[in-house]
């Protein structure tokens, strides 16, 4: 402050202090240091191993009928004399699976009975159980009526069955109209018809069931001749059974001996029992199971 008087120096210092105070008052207050806020971690998207299903892709559904029993219908062939009545078992899904054809089994009832005898004995119940469980492929069963056995009313039952009923069934229902897809079986008198028709019309049947066989008069002497006409490649598959207290026992044993003598492959079952519905009811599940086993399960 050379050359400046004391008074001037004091004035200058006072002004300088005033200026510094003004500058301090105008400065902003100290700001806190802001720490960066950490970002919350984001989850990594999970990749599903199951591909999403397009809403345009049809999802197959199981047919409800696969869990429902088959049905039995009653019908009549008017073109014969007398009209040939019959019951028919149509297996589960017959109406829904219209592109499917089926093997067919003809079951003949006994003398003094009618077409529903096999059903009363439990045949349809067994059929449903085997088919719905998958143990058997579905097949159709025909129960022809032979109630006119003691009447002279037009051609006999055998003629109505092979010449009229079988062609009608094949035309009307979705059967597989081939010998190896057609079977016949019977109880008592029905078994007598089965023996006669199965051997004389071997071109129609490849599977024969003879249950408590009652041979028609005169047919016993014809059996070997019938067998001679069957080509070796067309020999039928045969099941025979009878009770040890059956009045037809002796004749059934003779027929079985003829089969053995002529090299005809067959099953032979001898059980305790008589010629009664009690006996047949006890074995009906075995019968139906045997027929079902003749056609391979798809």
Q: What is the CATH number of the domain that holds 262?
A: 3.40.50.1820
Whether 48 is in a domain gets the answer no
Whether 22 is in a domain gets the answer no
Whether 20 is in a domain gets the answer no
Phi/psi for 175 (5° steps) reads -85, 170
Whether 5 is in a domain gets the answer no
Give the number of domains in the chain.
Answer: 1
E-strand stretches of the chain:
71-77, 84-90, 104-108, 140-144, 182-187, 207-211, 237-243, 266-271
Residue span of the structural domain in which 253 resides? 67-293
- Which H or E element spans position 17? helix 6-26
pTM metric for this prediction: 0.79
Whether 87 is in a domain gets the answer yes
Condensed to tens digits (0 to 9), the pLDDT of residues 236-286 reads 999 999 999 999 999 999 999 999 999 999 999 999 999 999 999 999 999
192 contacts: CB under 8 Å, gap ≥ 6: 186, 213, 214, 215, 216, 219
Pairing of strands 140-144, 104-108: parallel
Q: How confident is the model at residue 96 (pLDDT cuts 50, 70, 90)?
A: very high
Condensed to tens digits (0 to 9), the pLDDT of residues 141-175 reads 999 999 887 765 556 899 999 999 999 999 999 99
Question: Is the pLDDT at 17 greater than 70, yes or no?
Answer: no
Place of tokens 């400065």: 27
Whether 34 is in a domain gets the answer no
Q: Please give the share of the chain, as a percent, with pLDDT higher than 70.
A: 77
Whether 275 is in a domain gets the answer yes
Q: Specify the higher pLDDT residue, 136 or 56.
A: 136
Query: What is the Cα–Cα distance from 11 to 202, expressed in whole angstroms?
Result: 147
Q: Please give the share of the chain, as a percent, with pLDDT higher than 90.
A: 72
Whether 9 is in a domain gets the answer no
């Amino acid at each position: 402050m050379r050359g400046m008087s004391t008074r001037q120096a004091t004035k200058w210092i006072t002004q300088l202090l005033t200026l510094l105070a003004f500058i301090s008052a105008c400065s902003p207050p100290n700001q806190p240091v802001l720490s960066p806020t950490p970002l919350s971690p984001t989850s990594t998207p999970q990749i599903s191993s199951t591909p999403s299903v397009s809403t345009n892709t049809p999802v197959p559904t199981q047919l409800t009928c696969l869990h429902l029993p088959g049905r039995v219908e009653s019908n009549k062939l008017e073109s014969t004399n007398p009209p040939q009545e019959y019951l028919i078992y149509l297996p589960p899904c017959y109406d829904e699976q219209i592109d499917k054809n089926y093997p067919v089994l003809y079951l003949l009832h006994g003398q003094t009975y009618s077409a529903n005898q096999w059903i009363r004995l439990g045949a349809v119940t067994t059929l449903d159980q085997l088919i719905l469980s998958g143990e058997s492929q579905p097949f159709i069963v025909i129960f022809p009526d032979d109630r006119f056995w003691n009447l002279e009313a037009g051609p006999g039952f055998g003629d109505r069955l092979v010449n009229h009923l079988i062609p009608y069934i094949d035309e009307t229902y979705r059967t597989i109209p081939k010998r190896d897809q057609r079977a016949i079986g019977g109880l008592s008198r029905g078994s007598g018809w089965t023996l006669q028709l199965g051997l004389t019309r071997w071109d129609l049947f490849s599977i024969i069931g003879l249950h408590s066989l009652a041979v028609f008069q005169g047919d016993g002497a014809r059996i070997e001749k019938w067998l001679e006409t069957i080509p070796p490649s067309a020999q039928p598959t045969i099941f025979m059974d009878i009770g040890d207290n059956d009045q037809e026992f002796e004749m059934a044993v003779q027929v079985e001996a003829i089969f053995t003598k002529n090299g005809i492959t067959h099953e032979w079952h001898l059980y305790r029992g008589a010629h009664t519905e009690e006996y047949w009811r006890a074995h009906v599940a075995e019968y139906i199971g045997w027929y079902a086993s003749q056609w391979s399960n798809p």
